[in-house]
Structures are given as structure tokens and as C-alpha cells.
């Protein structure tokens, strides 16, 4: 019931609690050496914000700030009040460490349970979590949410595909949390065993932790015969449980009673109106141990201005278009890996894995897209394959405005990762 009510807060209730919580968090934050300095510089250490319009006057926090204050510079409570540490995956450099009090863990579990409840998970579900446990927040973070909701929770962890399949079957798992690229790989292992993934007992998949397109989601849904929901989070804001799709699968509701949401122009720092694409900036409104204010996520998205047909008023963000760090400049054009994935997933003959290689072509940078072809098409004659290659090339050209080299490869021949997929490989000498 509480889970349901929190999803159905009114806009007024959200705004009121945001201002009160923002001020509480500011008060806590200045107890940390980092924010004592940072907020001190703008004179924001002892006066509460009169309204949320004044959030704009506060400085941003960046990943570099977290790295510079590593390990304890952002702690707002004595160390003995802490009960857990997590770290980011380090996808884009040195990982950052995040600390939690018991209250922090409780509110995180509550938020996670809220997401799962929203997409229809109930205590009767048997839930299997295929995320790596340990420092990665997708393990314990999702786990605690599932237990809070009351599901029978199986902490299977990452990898060991045959064991995963056995666990699903032996315990008739109905819901799974799985990284999208691994979901596709696991389906191919199941098929290799002569079985059909859709015959398993699963009905719901929570997928996230890495950028992926709607095309990949639809493939997962078709393969397993499930509904798959996009789950977004980052360790700096707890981990999973920040934003989640509802039953309409059109954008992710951000729990605005727990996170203050902004989208900014990454060049100027100016706050953008709803609807415009920019960098997501989040403030944790409930944190005790390590409050983080106006955190620049480097994830690109926009706030969807239209009301969601589900009636929940927590605003939605669009599926993450990519990280600003992932942007490649090739022949003067800005390209994101997700643009390439979107094109590939629209082509029926394309298999479930691809990699983008950056290489030096004379004095210019170029990219080569290596694409797995589906088993049933790979056996076709040379002419058909050449035709497919040309079709992929020209579709990519339409989307990214340059013509990358396209190489078709055998199904299951590209490297796989049990964690987040590595879609871009840099082969340029100075980056090798």
C-alpha cells in the first residue's frame, strides 16, 4: 500500500517535499569537508533555499569532484554511522566510492521495491538477480528491493549461463534482472541447448545498467516471451531505483520525492526546459551518509513533457541516448553508439551482437562496424551477404551522415561480457 501511494503522489505533494528535503540535504551536506568548501564559496552554508528556483544558484558536482575527494571527502556523518560502501563500475575511468547509513539503505530498498511494484512484481513472484554482486550496485541494490517487496529472491550473480538456466527451471522463476547484452547471450546459450527461451517460466525482465535501444528490448521480449522494463540508476545516486519504466514502456519515471531532476546544456550549464535534450543532473534528496548535490551524470536524455497515460505524475525521462563520454567525432561528425545500434536493430538479418572499432585511416579517424549476422542468414550466398552489407552501410549513412566500414561476422563470434557490454573498441595507436 505504501509502495502504491508513493507512486501516486500529487504534483503539489512532490513540490512541497522537494523543497523541504532539499534544504535538509543541504544542511547535512555542509558537514562534509567538500561541501563546506563548495557551498561556502557561494554563501549557501546556512540559509535555506526560499524556493526551488534557487537551486539554479548552487554549484554542480562532477565525477572529478568525487574522485578528488576520494575516499572520505564527501562524508557528512562520522564513519561509525556508515554501514555499506559501493563503487561505480569504472566504465569511464577510476571508480568512485559511495557510502550509506542504514537509513540510506532502507530508503534505497524502498525505492527499488517501488519500481518493481510499478511493473507488476508481487510477493508471489520468484525473482532471480543475474547481476554481479559485490561493489556493483545492481547486485545488492536490486536484491534488497526484491526482498523488501517480498519476492522469493535468488541471488544468482553474473555469468555461469547453464547454472542460471537450471535455477530458472528448478525454482520456476517468474522475473529476472539481467543486463540487456547478457540477456541476448543467455538466449543463444538456451537455443544451443536445443531449447526455446520462451518456454521458460519468466514473465517479467528488468533490464538496465547499460545503454540499449528499444530494438534490443523488443528482441529480449520476443525471445523470452516476457515484458522487459528499462531500469536506470547510477551508483552516485544509490544505483538502480532512480528511474524506471511503467507499464506503458514509454520513458522512465524519476522518483521525484527522492531525486531532484534537471536537464542542462552540457556546454553552458544552463537548465533546459522540459523536452530538450541535454545532460541529466540529479540531487539525492534523502541521503544521510553522503549527500550529492546537482550531480552531473554525463548521461544524455530529455524530460518528457507530456503526462504519462498511467497517471503517475513523477516526470519521465526518455531512454538514455548515450553518455557524453561515448560521443565519437568522426570526420567532423558527432556520433553516439546508440545511433548505430538503433539502425542495426531495425535490420532483420542482423544478429544480437556488434562492436564499433575506431581506427586511424591515414590522417583521419574512421569507424568500422562489425556485425554478427543471424544464423539462418549467414549460410546464404556471397551475393546476398554483400547486399546485406551494403544495406547496413547505407542505412548507417542515413543516420550518422558518414559511411562507416561494415564487416559481417559469424554469429557468436564477437567477444561477450558478463557485465556491461563494451561496444566501442579504440584501435588508434595513441589509444591502444
Summarize as ranges the residues that interact with Zn ion (CB under 5 A): 246, 308, 310, 312
As a whole number of angstroms, the distance between CA 146 and CA 173 comes to 13
In whole angstroms, how close is the CB of 331 to ligand ADP at the nearest point? Answer: 26
Q: Which candidate, 123, 218, 133, places its Cα nearest to that of 177?
A: 133
Take residue 34 and report the three cell numbers written for it. Answer: 567538500
One residue of 153, 235, 238, 353 binding ligand ADP per CB under 6 A: 235
DSSP 315-356: -EE----EEGGG-EEETTEEE-HHHHHHHHTTSTTEEEEEEE
Residue 249 near ligand ADP by CB under 6 A: no
Closer Cβ to ligand ADP, 242 or 408, answer by number: 242
SS3 412: coil
User: How much is the CA Rg of the chain, to the nearest whole Å?
Assistant: 22
DSSP 216-271: HHHHHHHHHT-EEEEEEEEGGGTEEEEEEE-TT-SSEEE-TTTEEEEEE-TTT-PB
Give which of Zn ion, ligand ADP, none residue 308 binds (C-beta under 5 to 8 Å, depending on kind).
Zn ion
Residue 230 near ligand ADP by CB under 6 A: yes
Give which of Zn ion, ligand ADP, none residue 90 binds (C-beta under 5 to 8 Å, depending on kind).
ligand ADP
In this structure, is the dihedral angle defined by the CA atoms of residues 192, 196, 198 and 204, taken in order, positive or negative?
negative
In whole angstroms, how close is the CB of 334 to ligand ADP at the nearest point? Answer: 17
Segment near ligand ADP (CB under 6 A), from 158-166, 208-216, 219-227, 390-398?
208-216
Q: Which candidate, 190, 142, 182, places its Cα nearest to that of 166?
A: 190
Give which of Zn ion, ligand ADP, none residue 89 binds (C-beta under 5 to 8 Å, depending on kind).
ligand ADP
Cβ(376)–Cβ(399) under 8 Å?
A: no
Give which of Zn ion, ligand ADP, none residue 310 binds (C-beta under 5 to 8 Å, depending on kind).
Zn ion
Give the ranges where 120-207 is alpha helix by DSSP (H). Answer: 137-149, 161-171, 180-192
Residue 229 near ligand ADP by CB under 6 A: no
Residue 61 near ligand ADP by CB under 6 A: no
Contacts to ligand ADP from residues 321-380, by CB under 6 A: 323
In whole angstroms, how close is the CB of 309 to Zn ion at the nearest point? Answer: 7
As a whole number of angstroms, the distance between CA 297 and CA 62 comes to 8
Q: Which candidate, 417, 395, 416, 421, places its Cα nearest to that of 406?
A: 395
Give which of ligand ADP, Zn ion, none residue 366 binds (C-beta under 5 to 8 Å, depending on kind).
none
Closer Cβ to Zn ion, 216 or 246, answer by number: 246
Segment near ligand ADP (CB under 6 A), from 12-20, 221-229, 232-240, 385-393?
232-240
Q: Which candidate, 252, 302, 253, places its Cα nearest to that of 14?
A: 253
One residue of 320, 344, 350, 355 binding ligand ADP per CB under 6 A: 320
As a whole number of angstroms, the distance between CA 202 and CA 310 comes to 24
Residue 208 near ligand ADP by CB under 6 A: yes
Contacts to ligand ADP from residues 81-120, by CB under 6 A: 88-92
Give which of Zn ion, ligand ADP, none residue 210 binds (C-beta under 5 to 8 Å, depending on kind).
ligand ADP
Contacts to ligand ADP from residues 150-169, by CB under 6 A: none
- Residues lying near ligand ADP in the complex (CB under 6 A): 88-92, 208-211, 230-235, 297, 299, 320, 323
Amino acid at each position: 500500500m505504501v509502495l502504491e501511494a508513493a507512486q501516486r503522489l500529487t504534483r503539489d505533494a512532490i513540490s512541497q517535499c522537494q523543497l523541504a528535503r532539499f534544504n535538509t540535504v543541504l544542511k547535512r551536506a555542509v558537514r562534509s569537508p567538500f561541501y563546506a568548501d563548495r557551498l561556502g564559496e557561494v554563501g549557501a552554508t546556512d540559509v535555506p533555499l526560499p524556493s526551488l528556483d534557487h537551486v539554479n544558484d548552487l554549484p554542480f558536482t562532477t565525477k572529478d569532484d568525487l574522485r578528488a575527494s576520494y575516499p572520505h571527502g564527501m562524508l557528512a556523518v562520522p564513519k561509525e554511522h556508515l554501514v555499506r560502501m559501493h563503487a561505480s563500475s569504472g566504465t569511464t575511468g577510476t571508480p568512485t566510492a559511495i557510502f550509506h547509513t542504514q537509513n540510506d539503505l532502507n530508503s534505497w530498498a524502498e525505492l527499488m521495491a517501488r519500481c518493481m511494484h510499478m511493473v507488476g512484481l508481487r510477493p508471489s513472484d520468484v525473482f532471480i538477480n543475474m547481476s554481479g554482486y559485490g561493489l556493483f550496485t545492481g547486485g545488492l541494490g536490486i536484491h534488497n528491493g526484491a526482498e523488501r517487496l517480498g519476492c522469493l529472491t535468488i541471488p544468482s550473480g553474473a555469468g555461469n549461463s547453464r547454472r542460471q538456466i537450471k535455477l530458472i527451471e528448478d525454482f520456476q522463476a517468474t522475473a529476472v534482472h539481467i543486463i540487456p547484452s547478457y540477456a541476448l547471450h543467455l538466449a543463444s546459450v538456451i537455443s544451443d541447448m536445443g531449447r526455446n527461451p520462451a518456454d521458460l517460466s519468466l514473465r517479467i525482465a528488468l533490464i538496465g545498467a547499460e545503454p540499449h535501444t528499444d530494438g534490443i528490448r523488443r528482441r529480449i521480449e520476443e525471445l523470452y516471451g516476457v515484458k522487459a522494463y528499462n531500469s536506470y540508476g547510477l551508483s552516485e545516486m544509490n544505483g538502480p531505483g532512480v528511474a524506471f519504466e511503467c507499464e506503458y514502456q514509454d520513458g522512465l519515471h524519476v522518483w521525484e520525492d527522492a531525486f531532484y531532476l534537471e536537464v542542462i546544456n552540457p556546454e553552458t550549464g544552463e537548465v533546459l526546459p522540459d523536452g530538450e535534450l541535454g545532460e541529466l543532473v540529479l540531487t539525492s534528496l534523502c541521503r544521510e551518509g553522503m549527500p550529492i548535490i546537482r550531480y552531473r551524470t554525463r548521461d544524455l536524455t530529455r524530460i518528457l513533457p507530456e503526462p504519462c497515460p498511467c497517471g503517475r505524475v513523477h516526470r519521465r525521462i526518455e531512454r538514455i541516448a548515450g553518455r557524453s563520454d561515448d560521443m565519437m567525432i568522426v570526420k567532423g561528425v558527432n556520433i553516439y553508439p546508440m545511433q548505430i545500434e538503433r539502425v542495426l536493430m531495425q535490420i532483420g538479418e542482423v544478429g544480437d551482437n556488434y562492436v564499433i572499432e575506431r581506427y586511424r585511416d591515414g590522417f583521419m579517424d574512421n569507424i568500422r562496424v562489425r556485425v554478427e549476422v543471424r544464423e539462418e542468414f549467414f549460410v546464404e550466398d556471397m551475393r546476398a551477404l554483400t547486399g546485406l552489407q551494403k544495406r547496413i552501410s547505407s542505412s548507417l549513412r542515413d543516420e550518422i551522415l558518414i559511411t562507416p566500414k561494415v564487416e559481417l561476422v559469424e554469429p557468436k563470434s564477437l567477444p561477450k561480457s558478463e557485465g556491461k557490454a563494451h561496444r566501442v573498441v579504440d584501435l588508434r595507436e595513441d589509444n591502444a
